[in-house]
Amino acid sequence: EALSWARWATANAPVSAVPVHPLAWRCLGNVLLDCGRYEEADRAYRRADPEMVDSRTQFNRSKVALGLGDYAQAWRLAEHRLCSERLPDGAYRGPWWQGWPEPGVLTIWSEQGLGDTLQFLRWIPLLMDQGKTVTLMVQPPLQRLVARGLSWLGPRLTVLAHPTQPVHRLAGCHGSLLSLPWRLKQPMPAWAWGEGYLRVDRLAPPRSMSPRRVGLMWGAGP
């Protein structure tokens, strides 16, 4: 039904003297994206933003690229999320990545949801291979797991929780965890599929949890 109305909103585009509003094209692209019709969604987004300067539309195009398996394009376009007036939750204000890639000391912060943080941690070992000293700031519920799970990378990595009082700016070279594949020019670190990057052999549950419980998420958004 949503797709039907979205198509109706752009139906007169070829013949109307009044141009279709970009929001209507972006709405059509969003519905097509949720339907998994990625090529059609990208065509709608291009109609919404023919100059490719609107950050919201270009960020949505990054999701199209993910659906098509074009990861290099996806990570490049995803950087538009940081160009919006409202930054994602957990993001710090720029300038980001000052002096990259020369600085040997970096602060990397998580943003978006817990699942995004867990997925994008797979690029941390690649960053550490460059000999850098890294402070990684993650959401408080993940700090203990991530600190233990990445301890095999050695003392040059420190895992902290985001401060409870928001800090809008950070000093030194810093950037988003979700920007690492783009910055490292590594769209897919193939080794991570065959070998775990979060290595937790024994993580004792809190005393209140008996017996041990395991949570399984088997699905996510489109």
Q: For the chain, how many residues are written?
A: 222
pLDDT at 90 exceeding the cut of 80: yes
pTM of the model: 0.84
Which of 12-16, 45-49, 64-68, 94-98 is the least confident region?
A: 12-16
Helix (H) or strand (E) holding 219: none
Q: Encoding tokens for residue 34? A: 């949720």
Average pLDDT over residues 117-131: 93
Residue 156: per-residue pLDDT:
97
Maximum Cα–Cα distance across the chain: 69
Give 87's pLDDT tier (boundaries 50, 70, 90).
confident
pLDDT at 12 exceeding the cut of 80: no
| CA nearest to 78, candidates 98, 90, 61, 93 | 61
Q: What is the mean pLDDT of the chain?
A: 88
Render 161-198 in DSSP notation, one character per residue. Answer: EPPSS---B--SSEEEGGGHHHHHT-S--THHHHS-SS
Q: Where do we find the tokens 């509003």?
A: 21
What share of the chain in percent tops pLDDT 90? 68
Instruction: Give residue-wise pLDDT tens across range 168-220.
Output: 678 899 999 999 999 999 998 765 556 788 887 765 666 666 676 777 777 76
Return d(Cα 66, Cα 163) in angstroms, integer: 31
